[in-house]
Amino acid sequence: MKNFLIKSVAFFFVFQCVSAQEGIINNIENPVDWVNPLIGSDSDHTLSNGNTYPAIAMPWAMNFWTPQTGNMGDGWAYTYSAKKIKGFKQTHQPSPWMNDYGQFSIMPVTGKLRFKEAERESWFSHKSEIVTPYYYSVYLADHDVTTEIAPTERAARFRFTFPETNEAYVVIDAFDKGSYVKIIPKENKIIGYTTKNSGGVPANFKNYFVIIFDKDFTVSKTFDGDKLLEIKETQADHAGAVIGFKTAKGEKVNLKVASSFISYEQAERNLKELGRDDFNEIKEKGKKIWNTELSRIKAGGGTAEQFTTFYSSLYRSLLFPRKFYEFDAKGKVVHYSPYNGKVLPGYMFTDTGFWDTFRALYPFLNLMYPELNQQMQEGLSNAYNESGWLPEWASPGLRDIMVGNNSASIVAEAYLKSEKKNNPEIENLYKALIHGANNAGPLRAVGRLGIDYYSSLGYVPYDAGINENAARTLEYAYDDFAIYKLGLALNKPKSETDLYKKRSLNYKNLFDSSTNLMRGKNKDGKFQEPFSPFKWGDAFTEGNSWHYSWSVFHDMQGLIDLMGGSEVFVSQLDKVFSSAPVFDESYYGSVIHEIREMQIANMGQYAHGNQPIQHMTYLYNYAGEPWKTQYWVKETMNRMYKATPDGYCGDEDNGQTSAWYVFSAMGFYPVTPASDQYVIGAPLFKRITLQLQNGKEVSINAPENNAQNKYIKSMKFNGKVDNNNWLSHSELLKGAVIDFEMSSTPNKNRGNSKADFPYSLSNEK
């Protein structure tokens, strides 16, 4: 009866929150209840609908947990279409393409002792699966066991509900490539380490773990690969442990587990995160933490699908970069260096690729989490001190993937957008930027590959044996702009800042006026031949010329001038959507998943599933036709994002594709991260409120917003009519009320004056 009353009250509350407009929910409580961690998990290597896995974790946690449906070492650790679970894995995987490191798994088994993956796996159903950021539960049908997980940042509680049996077991799999386990029965404890990784680690890399049960062991065995051993300690290529006991029907067996990249002693210290809290208390604390973070952005006046998509995207935006630091016996921050293998003081973060995340994820952190981002800046300074370079893709150390020198944007934006400008690491970081901007690194993706050509010719040549040369040139130019802006803020010599300002205009060297597109250029100054704007790869990175020609984040007016004016510029933007989704995959030799995702999206050449073009919908604001931005941003939000397991239109990529949605739903986007401006799109909800870290509040109101009213008729900023196509970051930090009047027809008289356009370097006086 009590349960019935609770459900009745909840139904009445939801009913009261739904407006007369069918399907519109005015207010929500507990935003974490709207998060679906399974969005994006219906993917594989041929087609990405997100390439995500359900990360059961605290925000930015050192350790995530996920059910494992794939084989050991498979980057697709969990796929929605899978029918069997092989274990519950501690994971540090940023994406299936980067794969994992420091992983091990835990799996309950009943009946005959089965410890091999293919034998211990169990059928499961999504109907008996509960997935939230802070809690996971699933029924393992073949073992008649329910598994539950509730994590903290570096530890977790497991709870297994067993049937009545004399043959209940738990398998601890430390995986292959070098591992160790030891069973300590008198303490109901298992310790061990795993070295399995996918690169980017020093020779002494280990993830040490400790697991404590609340039930005595009656069986204690280890295994070496496929061989079960009657010993309690094993070091091998593939080591694991099996413990067992008798259980009564419905008996709950609890585990406490923690790990450390430093030592067993530190793993025991990390276990103290659990304190004396039982499983339910850890679960409720986790729920509170997620609600606190998600509630910092309060949306109202939207559909159930919009709320689920928004808060699920926000959840994904709060996972990476990962905290790669721990607290020592004195409570001081320390980290195992993924660069030199030493244990050192200070912060460290990892598992992010700046090629992806400089665009929206880091701007989001700078707006909503500047204090956390300050720690991340210290971590970058430590990375430079320990490796001699700033990482461009860290997982956990330097990885050789993607292009650009986008650490420049990460560092510059954080300082330029900070209120107090008191980062004690900024001079070291500026030194790191100058070093990275003028030297090729130890890996092709560190520093600047082709820097000698770039410095002398003003571009990386197509015929110099350097892959994706045009993409590198365009990104280097924006990175130089970021250094230029940071140099000005730090009062660096004019000769130095002028150099980077000049280099930031190098994008002009690749502009082909005969096609109004960017094009690879040879060392002799002639454009590459033959040229197809539909050819993926080659001169570009995971895209074609139609995608990369807009990568002039800092000087859209300069690009407009090159094209011959705003009318031609807008016409080129329109062609992205009106052209057929044809492609040339010959550079790759097969159709890569990014190509297929563009082809099937039915948005022409617009490839939102990959990062290079994600800002493009906002560019109409620079040419006096902001209503087209409003239309295409809404189209992208509504068509390319769904609250379903196939809900993304490409790789989610460490929060970047999610942060695009979060920004766009708020009504603006950071086209030029290293500037003070956000470019206006169109808000998704009737209202949204940002609780800034400095205590100020930003209220965004659009009461007439609905599926038909997708256009901005007028905007007021703090009560005053504002025709600008942009918002100021520094003004938002003071607190603001933004009122949008929405309409079903575009207002072509608003935002069409050059004075209304967003920042461009060419307009600097």
Give the H or E element holding residue 298: strand 297-300
* Sheet with 87-91, side-by-side order of all strands: 64-68, 87-91, 104-110, 165-173, 239-247, 219-224, 227-229
Question: 293-310 pLDDT, tens per residue?
Answer: 999 999 999 999 999 999
Helix (H, G, I), strand (E, B) or coil at 6: helix
Mean pLDDT, the chain, rounded, equals 96
653-667 residue pLDDT tens: 999 999 999 999 999
Q: Which pLDDT does position 1 carry in this prediction?
A: 35
**Interhelix angle 656-666/361-368, nearest 10 degrees:** 60
Asked if residues 585 and 536 have their Cβ atoms less than 8 Å apart, the reply is yes
Grade residue 765 by pLDDT with cuts at 50, 70 and 90: confident
What integer pLDDT is reported at residue 197 of this predicted model? 98
pLDDT of residue 501: 98
Distances (CA, A) of 218 to 167, 192, 213: 10, 20, 12
Element containing residue 678 per DSSP (H, E): strand 677-680
CATH class of 63-295: mainly beta
pLDDT digits (tens, 9 = 90+) for 605-650: 999 999 999 999 999 999 999 999 999 999 999 999 999 999 999 9
Nearest CA to 520 out of 485, 566, 472 is that of: 472
Q: How far apart are CA 67 and CA 87, in angstroms?
A: 6
For 450-488, the pLDDT digits (tens) are 999 999 999 999 999 999 999 999 999 999 999 999 999
Common-topology check for domains 63-295 and 315-763: no
Burial of 427 (0-12, 13-18, 19+ CB in 10 A): exposed
Q: How far apart are CA 630 and CA 445, in angstroms?
A: 36
Say if residues 378 and 346 touch (Cβ distance below 8 Å): yes
Arithmetic mean of pLDDT, 191-199? 98
Q: Measured between alpha carbons, how far is residue 309 from residues 356, 611, 647 in Å? A: 20, 19, 8
Domain ranges of the chain: 63-295, 315-763
- Helices 556-563, 566-578: axis angle to 10 degrees equals 90
pLDDT tens track for 576-592:
999 999 999 999 999 99
Among positive and negative, which fits the CA dihedral 503, 504, 507, 513? negative
pTM, two decimal places: 0.96
pLDDT the model gives residue 22: 57
User: Looking at residue 9, what is its pLDDT?
Assistant: 34
Whether 284 and 178 have beta carbons less than 8 Å apart is answered as no
**CA 416 to chain centroid:** 22
User: What average pLDDT does this structure show over 68-79?
Assistant: 97
Helix axis angle, 361-368 to 370-387, nearest 10°: 130
Class in CATH terms, 315-763: alpha beta
Residues 552, 549: Cα–Cα separation, whole Å: 8
Length of the chain: 765
Q: Mean pLDDT, to the nearest integer, of 671-700?
A: 98
Contact, 438 vs 451, CB < 8 A?
A: yes
Q: What is the pLDDT of residue 609?
A: 96
Contacts of residue 764, Cβ cutoff 8 Å, sequence gap at least 6: none
pLDDT average, residue stretch 500-522:
98
The pLDDT of residue 629 is 98
State the pLDDT at residue 16: 38
CA angle 76, 80, 84 (to 5 degrees): 85
> What's the pLDDT score for residue 6?
35
CB atoms closer than 10 angstroms to residue 29 = 12
What percentage of the chain carries pLDDT values higher than 90?
97
pLDDT at 13 over 60: no
pLDDT per position as a tens digit, 19-64: 445 599 999 999 999 999 999 999 999 999 999 999 999 999 999 9
pLDDT digits (tens, 9 = 90+) for 123-167: 999 999 999 999 999 999 999 999 999 999 999 999 999 999 999
Contact 383, 391 (CB under 8 A): yes
Is residue 11 over pLDDT 70?
Answer: no
β-pair partners for 300? 687
Would you call 104 helix, strand, or coil by DSSP? Answer: strand
What are the E-state strand segments in 429-506?
none
* Mean pLDDT computed over 492-509: 98
Q: How confident is the model at residue 706 (pLDDT cuts 50, 70, 90)?
A: very high
pLDDT reading at 17 higher than 70: no
Non-local (6+) Cβ contacts of 715 within 8 A are 680, 721, 722, 723, 738, 739, 740, 741, 750
Say yes or no to pLDDT of 517 above 90. yes
Q: What pLDDT, in 10s, does the model give residues 168-184?
A: 999 999 999 999 999 99
| Tokens encoding 5 | 């009353």
Q: Whose CA is closest to 184, among 192, 174, 176?
A: 192
Q: What are phi and psi for residue 256, nearest 5 degrees? A: -115, 130
